[in-house]
Amino acid sequence: MSRAALRERVAGLDARLKLGGALLSLLVALAGPAPHTASTVAALALLASLAVGERAGVLLRRLGVALFSGLALWALHGLLRPEASGAWRLGLVLGTRVAAGATVFGLLIALTPPWALVGALRAWRVPAPLAEVLALAVRYATVLERAAHTAREAQILRLGYRGVRRGVHSLGALGGLTLVRAFDQAHATAEAMAARGCRGAHLPPPGERP
């Protein structure tokens, strides 16, 4: 089976299964005997990432964070208490834990779109109002992001970020504008929901498979 086909197949799995598997792997990595369990989980997730065709650069960046965290903890302990031994082990434990976390979580979000993960949470009986807020936020995050991006480009064209003082002023205005647009969008969404018969109660759970 080619990498693309395998990736498609894994991406098509039920989001509840993927989220559950990822959470279980993360908990095993954190709770198991360190650093063996975490390094095993990290190695397996790395192999799985390679099998589904994740780019090497992305994987290296994820592992770089882990290497960095481990090195930093080792250096910190070495610097604070040079007479104490075992600093390398602390660094190794932290590094492998972060490696496991970064690779497992990275694989999960690479193969599962955010809306599917929100659907999985809804299927796991997250309180309905919270699920509704989550679903709306996921849906409109990119819309608001585009609006803010357009406004920022206009500010840049008007030299709004020339100098720190002017830049901070422009950023404040951009933040305010984003919130005003969020408020307008909320009005439009509330009106659309009301037009469909919603009167303040939460939306019915979706029938689609997460």
- Scan residues 44-83 and list those touching other proteins (CB under 8 A): 65-66, 68-69, 71-82
Stretch that binds other proteins, among 1-9, 10-18, 47-55, 192-200 (CB under 8 A): 192-200
Distance CA 82, CA 103 (A): 32
Distance CA 156, CA 9 (A): 43
The least distance separating other proteins from the CB of residue 193, rounded to whole angstroms, comes to 6
Q: Per rule CB under 8 A, is residue 171 in the interface with other proteins? A: yes
| Two tokens, residue 167 | 């830049």
- Binders of other proteins among residues 93 to 112 (CB under 8 A) are 94, 97-102, 104-106, 109
- Out of 36, 150, 173, 209, the only residue in the binding site for other proteins (CB under 8 A) is 173
4: Cβ contacts below 8 Å, ≥ 6 apart? 53
Chosen residue from 150, 201, 205, 209 binding other proteins by CB under 8 A: 201
Tokens of 192: 């659309």
The CA distance from 53 to 7, in Å, is 7
Region near other proteins per CB under 8 A, out of 6-14, 49-57, 174-182: 174-182
Q: How far is the CB of 47 from other proteins (least distance, A)?
A: 18
Number of amino acids touching other proteins (CB under 8 A): 87
**Hey, CA dihedral for 156, 158, 164, 165, is it positive or negative?**
negative
Q: Which of 124, 90, 110 is nearest to 17 (CA)?
A: 124
Q: Which of 117, 122, 160, 210 binds other proteins (CB under 8 A)?
A: 117
Non-local CB neighbours of 173 within 8 Å, separated by 6+ positions: 155
Token output for 116? 């599917």
Residue among 5 and 50 whose Cβ is closer to other proteins = 50
154 binds other proteins (CB under 8 A): no
